[in-house]
Chains A and B, each alone.
Chain A
Amino acid sequence: MAKSLFEEKLYSDTFLVTSEVGPPKGTDISELVENIELLKDKVDAINVTDHQSSVMRFPSLGGCLLVKDQGGEPILQMTCRDRNRLALEADLLLAHTRGINNVLCLTGDSIDVGDHSEVKPVFDVDSVQLLRMIQDMEAGKDAAGNDLKGAPQFFIGASVHPAADFIEPQLIKFDKKIAAGAQFFQTQGIFELPSLRRFMQYASQFNTKVLAGVIVLSSPRMAQFMNENVPGITVPQEVIDELATAEKGKRLQKGIEIAGRLIKAIKEEKLCQGVHIMAVGNERIVPDILEAAELELAAGRAS
């Protein structure tokens, strides 16, 4: 039996669309609530980011509770950067009791790239070890081997970087994540199809589900900034050039068009099971991207 609605959908023949929301820095959650409201019926699941780019924010778990309360399907992003085994386990126990059943296990960006650069990085476990730890919890054991009174169940996933400039070590880690129990993958941002095609050919030997990560770019400057500062992202020069062809004020529209075109191509080629749209602070435009990709809304696609 599927552990979550998201898992159930991923194993159907539907082309899935997930997206993500970034919680606020502070207690004003009104925009987060609005974004969840906007997305919950349009996408199949919503990730809540975990102090993305190592910038301190309202917690991922808190955001997932909101998604749940608002009737959406949450995916709990969980990084290894800020919590040791005790804290990760405790959050997972709470998540399960509140009906949050999808977990995306991530290493987490380095502390140095964020706004709390003087704090202690944790990394008590890495993403592969976190996946295994969750599997142990499902089998009724905590990370120290003690019995749990009531075991959680999760649909667990991880990330992979198909466009990495040095792919072999990434593929070894991908294999290890599968062996550690990852059932689905969200890729780092994809901007061109050849690397995704090569990766999917490799991934086809495993029985795993892949959602291609699509980042919406709002300007050539943003793309340059990401290339220089955001770990795991390389925007090809052609994409930056295409963004620059649009006049100022219409560049986000161009970015939406590029993302839509990419999603449409991925779907038509049946390259993978769906896409994960990262609008990075522009969550409101996700419906426009779906339209540009000529995708129906989640409810329509699932039926």
Chain B
Amino acid sequence: MIVAEQKPLEEIRRTIAPYEKVLILGCGTCMTVCGAGGEREVSFLRSALQMAEAREGEVIHTFSEYTVKRQCDVEFLEAVNPFAEEVDAILSLGCGIGVQSLASHFQDIPCLPGVNTSFMGMADEWGVWDERCAACGECRLAETAGICPITRCTKGLLNGPCAGSKNGKCEVNKDMDCAWILIYQRLERLGQLDKMRRYYPPRNFRPIPRPRRITTKVGATEGGAHG
């Protein structure tokens, strides 16, 4: 899933400052699960913004709120249409994809980000999220015992650890596991250390020049348009 963090309140206030009527729009999928922008956070944020204005004695904004199932799916955005009538801006608590999806759907309304989209990851425990996939376009988890060196090694090394690992931890952060120690241990356990002894050539970054496109529709042009 996509993990994000809500932007600081002061930054959000600066972003919405030029607009009077603001729709705060949550997203019912990833942002709800990671607690950055679901129905609950939309409601809390609205209260926080209203309280901040009330404290300063100058009420400028009128807020409305709604949470859609998924902002990144255009088909769900039709349901937002009635809420978007007559607003000056939409403050999206969706991820970066959600904000862009809104911007393309609501051509005449400024769509503003209320969260910083961080990474694709999973919960280590409730409220602790770890990045697990860099969407590199060439999954090599079969060779690395299901542990991604591109995401979890700070240098994205493909041929084994650097010399910086100490006590199984990364040179960057004493609390962060060295991905290559984990990979070694798990490959050993699986009896597959030969996979680590193999040479892996430099990554092909051609799938990376952004933006990428995947076409699964029959008869459509593949990728070439780059968005």
Contact = CB atoms under 8 A, between A and B. Distances in A.
Interface of A: 80-81, 85, 107-110, 112-113, 121, 123-129, 132-133, 143, 159-161, 164-166, 168-170, 172-173, 175-176, 179-180, 188, 231-232, 234
Contacts of A107: 155, 157, 162-163
Contact of B181 (A128, A166, A232, A234): A166
Given A107-B157, A112-B172, A172-B160, A125 B184 contact: no
B166 interface: yes
Interface in B156-178: 156-168, 170-173
The B interface is mostly helix, strand or loop, or mixed, namely loop
A164 B165 contact: yes
Given A85-B202, A143-B202, A173 B164 contact: no
B199 interface: yes
A126 B166 CA distance: 19
A169 B155 contact: no
Nearest to B158: A126
B119 interface: no
B201 interface: yes
Contacts of A232: 162-164, 171
A164 B163 contact: yes
B154 interface: yes
Nearest to B156: A123
Contacts of B160: 128, 169-170, 172-173, 176
7 contacts: A121-B154, A124-B203, A126-B155, A128-B160, A129-B159, A164-B163, A173-B160
Contacts of B155: 80-81, 107-108, 110, 121, 123, 126
B166 to A, nearest CB: 6
Nearest to A130: B202
B87 interface: no
Interface of B: 154-168, 170-173, 180-181, 184, 193, 196-197, 199-203, 205
Among B154, B155, B205, max chain A CB count under 10 A is at B155
Given A110-B171, A161-B163, A188-B163, A169 B158 contact: no
A258 to B, nearest CB: 22
Nearest to B150: A123
Contacts of B170: 110
Contacts of B161: 169-170, 173
Contact of B163 (A81, A129, A143, A231): A231
Q: Which of A169, A172, A176 has the most CB of B within 10 A?
A: A169
Q: Which 9 A-B pairs have the closest CB atoms?
A: A231-B164, A173-B160, A232-B163, A231-B171, A161-B163, A128-B159, A169-B184, A107-B162, A112-B172
A124 B196 CA distance: 19
Contacts of B162: 107, 127, 231-232
B156 to A, nearest CB: 5
Contacts of B166: 165, 231, 234
B148 to A, nearest CB: 15
B171 A113 contact: yes
A129 B161 CA distance: 13
A77 to B, nearest CB: 14
Residue in A80, A123, A188 whose Cβ sees the most chain B Cβ within 10 Å: A123
B163 A170 contact: yes
A155 to B, nearest CB: 21
Nearest to A188: B163
A133 B167 CA distance: 32
A125 B165 CA distance: 19
Contact of A169 (B154, B180, B200, B205): B180
B159 A126 contact: yes
A261 B208 CA distance: 52
B196 A172 contact: yes
Q: Which of B157, B159, B163, B164 counts the most A-chain CB atoms under 10 A from its CB?
A: B163
A128 B197 CA distance: 12
Contacts of A188: 163
Given A188-B163, A232-B164, 13 more contacts: A107-B155, A107-B157, A112-B173, A113-B172, A123-B157, A124-B203, A127-B159, A159-B163, A169-B180, A172-B197, A173-B159, A231-B163, A231-B171
